[in-house]
Structure 1
Amino acid sequence: MDDSAPTRTQPQIYTAPRTDVSQNQGQFRIHLNFPGRAVPDHDDHGYGPLATVVESFMDPGTLIRMHQHRNEEIISWVPDGVMRHDDRQGNELVTDSDHLMVMGAGSGFWHAEETFADDPPLRMLQIFVRPHSLDLEPDIQHEPIPDAVPNEWRHLFGPEDGDAPLSVRNDVNFYDCRLDAGATVTLPSRPAWDTYLYVFDGAVTAGDDETEIGYTESGLVTAEDDVSVTATEESIIVAFCLNPDAPITRQGTIGR
């Protein structure tokens, strides 16, 4: 045996059940997922630049009145239905399965959200990224996104110097994937970065030991080996490939 040969470790996957942190405001309900809580003895509810991933529900005919955010990047991912946005900069935008919105709150950004009475019930993710610096220039991006291809990752946002359709002001890449039952993909990865997986719909197994991750459950992969994900039923999954050592700020209105 060659003692100088490198050893290949099994991927470390920390899993977390559906969050028990929620708020119910009647027509508007949220469940807050904290990626850092998946790791034992981790002293931060977030994980590096990823502060929280919020599962949000809005009934038809719901208005969330004009309010301000500061010092956080807020991404609205809508796999089905519509989320209507307006703001004090005069934007009136509709985010749906064909569009993604990134709101860089920076030093302060006022906006409102709404569903009309004839809109379908809305379930979406609102993702809170910690920016690298405080009081950046407020900014909003609202762009069409590539058509989804079954069983393939779709890269939707990333750092400002990347090639994703939209960008955030820190080291986070975001992907989504619609998996057929029995289909397998490899988690997005990058050397020295970690990957957070969230199952929006369905159920999957991950890694060589086939770790089970079910509906609205999550897993954090902290090793550099490739990790495969297999759908045990038709599934929608999202993944965040992020730099855990990126410089961060923690003064966001919600994410912190």
Structure 2
Amino acid sequence: MDDSPTAQTHSRIYTAPRTDVSQNQGKFRIHFNFPGRAVPNHDDHGYGPLATVVESFMDPGTLIRMHQHRNEEIISWVPDGVMRHDDRQGNELLTDAENLMVMSAGSGFWHAEETLADDPPLRMLQIFVRPHSLDLEPGIQHEPIPDPAVNEWRHLFGPEGTDAPLSVRNDVHFYDCHLNAGATVTLPSRSGWHTYLYVFEGAIEVGEEPVGYTESALVTGDSDVTVAAAEDSIVVAFAINPDAPITRQGTIGR
């Protein structure tokens, strides 16, 4: 963890190693990434409306039986492979590299997840956003997303009323980027907001700070910060309003 200022004026970069908070249920394994833990003496494991980013693994032929979530927005980002979803509202959905799912649990939402025996091994992110209010109307969004453009950020969800393909009920914008080795992009940012970044594949430098495979960084401040790929990489980023009103009664993402 590094809490030193970078050379880029008005911005500060905090880096964090791969999480050691995990659960192993055999064919289903998860690692919790807590954005708030990147900042020394921060009193919240989450950071504003972003509660946690969970790296999830499902072996072929895995069933996670019907269970309930409440008071959290759960986003399933699947860069490769398939995640099969069904729920008590009658939806049977397949989330993959071409489709994104946002499950708004609100007052209560029951669902199950599955991979079939002939599906490939699955590694995905499940993102938990704290909603702005308790016991909202539950629902689900499952939409096709634009094809990724190499070395460009792809905007995938944002607060309600924005131009992102899907929405969540608080102030978080989500982006991904496929970077070629040697490429440089500017980290997504918004005035007064902060940005959390996670390296799903590869290794990068954020400003002058190295961030490796499954490591993360939190960037505060308004100046532009560069992301440079040390090797072919897949990176996700969250622009977060740290002052957004939040609830903390989610089933997982409290």
- Report if TM-score (shorter chain) is over 0.5: yes
Structure 2 counterpart of 1:5 = none
Structure 1 residues 36-51: aligned runs within 5 Å: 36-51=36-51
Structure 1 counterpart of 2:126 = 126
Report the AA paired with residue 127 of structure 1: I
Report the AA paired with residue 103 of structure 1: M
Q: Which runs of 5+ in 2 are unaligned?
A: 1-7
Q: CA deviation at 1:77?
A: 0.1
Structure 2 counterpart of 1:202 = 202
The answer as to 2:67 corresponding to 1:67 is yes
1:169-218 per-residue CA deviation (whole Å, 9 max, x = no partner) reads 000000000000000010000000000000000000011xx100000000
Structure 1 counterpart of 2:95 = 95
Task: Give the aligned length.
Answer: 247
Q: 1:249 is paired with a residue of what secondary structure?
A: coil
Distance in 2 between the 1:147 and 1:68 partners?
32
Distance in 2 between the 1:11 and 1:182 partners?
23
Distance in 1 between the 2:244 and 2:161 partners?
15
Report the AA paired with residue 87 of structure 1: D
The higher radius of gyration belongs to 1
Structure 1 counterpart of 2:30 = 30
Q: CA deviation at 1:167?
A: 0.0
1:84-138 per-residue CA deviation (whole Å, 9 max, x = no partner) reads 0000000000000000000000000000000000000000000000000000000
Q: CA deviation at 1:9?
A: 2.4
Structure 1 counterpart of 2:4 = none
Q: 2:245 is paired with a residue of what secondary structure?
A: coil
Distance in 2 between the 1:171 and 1:162 partners?
10
Counterpart contact for 2:10–2:222, Cα < 8 Å: no
Counterpart contact for 2:17–2:215, Cα < 8 Å: yes
The answer as to 2:214 corresponding to 1:216 is yes
Q: CA deviation at 1:48?
A: 0.1
Counterpart contact for 2:158–2:164, Cα < 8 Å: yes
The answer as to 2:140 corresponding to 1:143 is no
Q: 2:234 is paired with a residue of what secondary structure?
A: strand
Structure 2 counterpart of 1:11 = 11
Distance in 1 between the 2:9 and 2:156 partners?
30
Q: 1:36 is paired with a residue of what secondary structure?
A: helix
Q: 2:86 is paired with a residue of what secondary structure?
A: strand
Q: Residue 250 of structure 1: which of 241, 248, 254 is its match?
A: 248
Report the AA paired with residue 218 of structure 2: L
Structure 1 counterpart of 2:3 = none
Distance in 1 between the 2:185 and 2:236 partners?
12
Structure 1 counterpart of 2:226 = 228
Structure 1 counterpart of 2:158 = 158
Report the AA paired with residue 217 of structure 2: G
Q: 1:37 is paired with a residue of what secondary structure?
A: helix
Q: CA deviation at 1:10?
A: 4.6
Q: CA deviation at 1:223?
A: 1.2
In angstroms, what is the RMSD of aligned CA positions?
0.7
Structure 2 counterpart of 1:190 = 190
Q: 2:37 is paired with a residue of what secondary structure?
A: helix
Q: 1:155 is paired with a residue of what secondary structure?
A: strand
Q: 1:189 is paired with a residue of what secondary structure?
A: coil
Report the AA paired with residue 31 of structure 2: H
Distance in 2 between the 1:10 and 1:164 partners?
28
Report the AA paired with residue 115 of structure 1: T
Q: Percent identity?
A: 83
Report the AA paired with residue 138 of structure 2: P
Structure 1 counterpart of 2:237 = 239
Distance in 2 between the 1:185 and 1:226 partners?
10
